[in-house]
Structure 1
Amino acid sequence: MRLDELARVIGPSATDGDLTREIEGLCYDSRQVGSGGLFFALRGVAIDGHDFIGAARERGAVAVVLEDPKRAPAGMTWLQVDDARLAMSRAAAAFYGNPTDGIPVVGITGTNGKTTTTYLMEAIMGRAGMPAAVLGTVSYRFGSRVIPAPHTTPESVDLQRIIREFADLGARGVVMEVSSHALEQHRVDGCRFDVGVFSNLTRDHLDYHLDMESYFASKARLFTELLAADAVKPRRAAVINIDDPYGVRLAASAVAPVISYGLSAAAAVRAVDVGFTVDGIAGTLVTPEGTQPFRSQLLGRFNLYNILAAVAAGVALDIPLADIVAALGGSVSVPGRLERVENDRKVTVLVDYAHTGDALENVLATVSEFARGRIITVFGCGGDRDRGKRPVMGEIAGRYSDLTIVTSDNPRTEEPGAIIAEVLAGLRGAGVREFAPEELGTAGEKGFTSLVSRRDAIRLAIRAARPGDIVLLAGKGHEDYQIIGTVKHHFDDREEAAAALGDRE
């Protein structure tokens, strides 16, 4: 694509050099630049892309989009913009032929429930004859093509390239998790969404956003800016959980028509006569398109909200209610979301991604509804992330669990013992007894302990479990790694639990 064509999309405030040259690729990492590339000098928290313009040029970049033209090497074509990330998002969409223009795109944001809702939407859209690509925390995938997901929402260049690839493979829709980071950094500004979904907002990522209002403002962009109707997609919808106080605020400011969901009578999409069992959820859907009974194999009240979000999004896409209900009744397995580890010990072992206070409380409240024995919870908190949620999660675990083992999550560059100590402060506040690891479960009373090694913590939980107990391994879910220092090691809670269950010693 010619640089002057991209320039019309980007709208630079100033340029210098030859804009007629052909651009062979877009790049934001100087190590990945190829011949004929256009390099975007992005400013980050720790790294400034302007420092790598020279390296990008050496590797074949023929032009650069930058914010500070004084940093451009002499003789190199440059385009100056106010926001290089926004320019990159717009350029990426144009470079890859605007792949979201001709297919329905559903973007799901919120603190909890995004991944499960994408899987439900995939099933609903597939049932309606529009097979959808799914991009999110677990992976980016369509059909047999699966791409590992380093971020919930990819950088804009990667995002547009992946959607183009999936569309060429036959995807007739896209369902994506849209993170607050992605919205803040304009990664999805080149996408044309048909439906935006807001699940909820609870404490998370405050190491990045600093406070809840900034966090909310990032999420709100999807509904207050990116859902604005245009000539390409004149009909759009905002699907919003109005049982959440932030959802109520969002519904009042959305630029697209709102389809509300929730359990309150004011919600346009809601459920009545609902029952929760160890086998799933059953009830009756009430929607603008009619009323119909439904069943799902998903567990718990928080998953009912995910179901309602998907139903409302399906209604927004004009999918018949019969197809929606049929899809809900099928097998929807979400990796690392209350995922069972099968065994012959008559112990229910569940792996879940819950890594915030709200998510952990939702999962433990759900487990409590069908628990017949004790609840044994293993969890930790990530390093180099929001420290404020650590004692909160400790208190929640102590309140719901019979036995709690606090361990490492992804400690990153923090000292694992220091992270654990901050979690234990919340557990001590819950008024339960502290045990040494070897004492756990022997005294017949509620209690907690800690082990730095996550492998040892999982093995201790399995050893302590009796028939009828539930062991919840929380925090890492589908992840198959553990980050210690700056090194990523292979580690999968499901594999570790299976190995511990197979150990008869």
Structure 2
Amino acid sequence: MPDSVKLSRLFPGLFAAAQPGLPDVPVKALCHDSRKVEPGSVFFALRGGQADGHSFISQAIGRGAVAVVMEEAQDLPAPVVGLVVPDSRAALAEAARVFFADPSTGMSVVAVTGTNGKTTTTWLLESILSVAGHHPAVIGTVNYRFGNQRLKAPHTTPEALEMLKIVREFRDKGADSLVLEVSSHALEQRRADGIHFGVGVFTNLTPEHLDYHGDMETYFAGKKRLFTELLPRDGGRAVIHVGDPYGRRLAREISGALTCGCGETADVRPLSMDLSLEGIRGRVHTPGGILELESALLGQFNLENLLCAVAAATALELPIPAIEEGIRRAPQVPGRLERVANTRGAVILIDYAHTGDALEKALDAVRRLRPRRIITVFGCGGDRDRAKRPVMGEVAARLSDLVVVTSDNPRSEEPREIIAAIIPGLRLAGVPELSVAELRHTDGRGYTIELDRRRAIDLAVSLLAPGDLLLVAGKGHEDYQIVGGERFHFDDCEEVKRALGEQEVS
């Protein structure tokens, strides 16, 4: 890749239509954060939820920007070039694609979108692709990775500039395929517009991010962009889970989709299946033949994730033996019903479930394993969708025996106020509030409140008896807790192991 790219190459149509005499300057970097501008950069003024990049144009120019891409024209000092566009984010995605030499072209690229199941599906696909002889890179919620390289993931789907830079780096190191989790925010904000997609997977749609989208129709429209705008550009194929009502609706609107689900009409569907504490085993019908499925994953919702992965691999025309072996070899997904070994004779699971639907699916999955009791620890994040709080409370109380309500990431909210919004759901399920002492001795059901997440986990672990199942829900793979404006190290898996160790010593 050259050290610089001429401005006219980044914006050929726009540059040609601009006023005559614009200097065709060499561009050394692209930036959307004025603090990171260096001499020779193009600065993109992006509108965000908390800040408007147009307010930082002067700062960017002061740091050496040679051109500014903006949605509202501003007078700029010579010789800085100003380009006015209808959508700065779309312009950034296209410019980044060109600047980083179109890094996804020629790769096998799978995008997975949906409220739940994205992370598990991408981990399964990574394993399948590896067994099939490919060298996959993955960009998703847990991290951005290729080979032995692991990058932190501040967002499920990074901004277009960061994403295309990462794809370029992974491609240069040998990646020949790419699996992406694509969030609704990313689709609406055009972060993925510079990627060439071969397969797009829709897992499901349930209430989440409504503080951002406003309603389910807007949320669905954001997801649908992948299938109506991005996939068709490169002749990509849609894979749609039709066990979900929004999936069925999408499948009716997208011609040629490969469908998956447990219904008899799905293109990829189970013929026989056994779900147990040991995992999921069975036979799956695909357009390419019968597949023998064997996975350590637990529960009905993970069967749906497995079917999505099988369908996506089928759309990529990967051989059935590679799909089978890839699923068998797939590693434990961090924070997705992740098991914690113990000597209590109990099952302990860490899960990312942070919506009512995800929590219900996780608890329903473990109830079917018939543990003696289910103990659930959960909370709700602050500064996020408030409507889900009583819903999660009702689900936890209805499907658990004992519930410990605690803090998640309270952010700027007062933890007591967050929990106060959860309590109506607990009461709706008819479950009484108990003191810690009552919780320890009850033979029935109940909930208690412990604001401190560490102490809540300690309490739940201390309640465990042989045959019990503990689900610590909400944070999953996250290794931090956000309280006020500060981020502290906090890992549910580490905390459970610590509690087990301390209680065994004492």
Secondary structure class of the residue paired with 1:227: helix
Residues matched between the structures, number: 500
2:204 corresponds to which of 184, 200, 203: 200
**Match for residue 448 of structure 1?**
447
Cα pair distance change 1:483/1:441, threshold 3 Å: same
Mapping of 1:392-431 within 5 angstroms?
392-431=391-430
Query: Structure 2: how far apart are the matches of 1:15 and 1:321?
Result: 57
Mapping of 1:489-504 within 5 angstroms?
489-504=488-503
**Alpha-carbon contact 2:123-2:330 (below 8 Å) kept:** no
**Deviations for 1:434-468, whole angstroms, at most 9, x for unmatched residues?**
11233323121100011111001000101111122
1:165 corresponds to which of 161, 164, 169: 169
- The TM-score, its normalising length taken from structure 1, stands at 0.97
The code of the aligned residue for 1:480 comes to D
**Match for residue 274 of structure 2?**
275
The code of the aligned residue for 1:285 comes to V
Mapping of 1:76-87 within 5 angstroms?
76-87=80-91
Cα pair distance change 1:415/1:238, threshold 3 Å: same
Cα pair distance change 1:9/1:332, threshold 3 Å: farther
Secondary structure class of the residue paired with 1:418: helix
Secondary structure class of the residue paired with 1:306: helix
**Match for residue 127 of structure 1?**
131
**Alpha-carbon contact 1:432-1:448 (below 8 Å) kept:** yes
1:114 corresponds to which of 92, 112, 118: 118
The question of 1:387 aligning with 2:391 is answered: no
**Match for residue 88 of structure 1?**
92
Query: Structure 2: how far apart are the matches of 1:502 and 1:421?
Result: 32
Cα pair distance change 1:68/1:16, threshold 3 Å: farther
The question of 1:221 aligning with 2:228 is answered: no
**Match for residue 49 of structure 1?**
53
**Alpha-carbon contact 1:371-1:469 (below 8 Å) kept:** no
Cα pair distance change 1:15/1:180, threshold 3 Å: farther
Query: Structure 2: how far apart are the matches of 1:220 and 1:112?
Result: 16
Deviation at 1:20, TM superposition (A): 1.4
Query: Structure 2: how far apart are the matches of 1:185 and 1:496?
Result: 36
The code of the aligned residue for 2:45 comes to A
Larger mean CA deviation between 324-333 and 465-474 belongs to 324-333
Query: Structure 1: how far apart are the matches of 2:392 and 2:333?
Result: 23
The question of 1:326 aligning with 2:340 is answered: no
- The TM-score, its normalising length taken from structure 2, stands at 0.96
Secondary structure class of the residue paired with 1:240: strand
1:104 corresponds to which of 105, 108, 122: 108
Larger mean CA deviation between 219-228 and 429-438 belongs to 429-438
**Match for residue 246 of structure 2?**
246
Deviation at 1:9, TM superposition (A): 6.3
Query: Structure 2: how far apart are the matches of 1:312 and 1:393?
Result: 31
**Deviations for 1:176-225, whole angstroms, at most 9, x for unmatched residues?**
10000000000001111000000000000000001000000000000011
Mapping of 1:353-372 within 5 angstroms?
353-372=352-371
Query: Structure 2: how far apart are the matches of 1:10 and 1:215?
Result: 31
1:155 corresponds to which of 135, 159, 167: 159
Cα pair distance change 1:88/1:265, threshold 3 Å: same
The code of the aligned residue for 1:32 comes to K
Cα pair distance change 1:323/1:412, threshold 3 Å: same
**Deviations for 1:303-349, whole angstroms, at most 9, x for unmatched residues?**
01111111111111110112111111224210011111112222221
Structure 2: tracts of 5 or more residues without a match: none
**Alpha-carbon contact 1:17-1:78 (below 8 Å) kept:** no
Q: Which aligned runs of 4 or more in structure 1 are off by greater than 3 angstroms?
A: 9-19, 71-75
Secondary structure class of the residue paired with 1:329: helix
Query: Structure 2: how far apart are the matches of 1:17 and 1:332?
Result: 58
The question of 1:59 aligning with 2:58 is answered: no
Mapping of 1:311-322 within 5 angstroms?
311-322=310-321
**Alpha-carbon contact 2:376-2:471 (below 8 Å) kept:** yes
Secondary structure class of the residue paired with 2:98: helix
**Deviations for 1:204-255, whole angstroms, at most 9, x for unmatched residues?**
00000010000000000000110114xxx4x42100011211112211223x
Cα pair distance change 1:499/1:297, threshold 3 Å: same
**Alpha-carbon contact 2:65-2:80 (below 8 Å) kept:** no
**Alpha-carbon contact 2:344-2:464 (below 8 Å) kept:** no
Deviation at 1:16, TM superposition (A): 8.2
Larger mean CA deviation between 6-15 and 67-76 belongs to 6-15
Larger mean CA deviation between 44-53 and 79-88 belongs to 44-53
**Match for residue 374 of structure 1?**
373
The code of the aligned residue for 1:292 comes to L
Secondary structure class of the residue paired with 1:218: helix
**Alpha-carbon contact 1:394-1:426 (below 8 Å) kept:** yes
**Alpha-carbon contact 1:10-1:90 (below 8 Å) kept:** no
The code of the aligned residue for 1:246 comes to Y
Query: Structure 2: how far apart are the matches of 1:12 and 1:500?
Result: 65
Larger mean CA deviation between 324-333 and 40-49 belongs to 324-333
Query: Structure 1: how far apart are the matches of 2:120 and 2:12?
Result: 39
The code of the aligned residue for 1:275 comes to D
The code of the aligned residue for 2:307 comes to L
**Deviations for 1:372-400, whole angstroms, at most 9, x for unmatched residues?**
22110000011111000000000000011
Query: Structure 1: how far apart are the matches of 2:442 and 2:129?
Result: 52
Deviation at 1:10, TM superposition (A): 6.0
Query: Structure 1: how far apart are the matches of 2:75 and 2:24?
Result: 22
**Alpha-carbon contact 2:479-2:492 (below 8 Å) kept:** yes
The code of the aligned residue for 2:401 comes to D
**Alpha-carbon contact 1:13-1:81 (below 8 Å) kept:** no
Cα pair distance change 1:192/1:17, threshold 3 Å: same
Deviation at 1:54, TM superposition (A): 1.0
Query: Structure 1: how far apart are the matches of 2:477 and 2:75?
Result: 42
Cα pair distance change 1:273/1:49, threshold 3 Å: same
- Report % sequence identity: 53
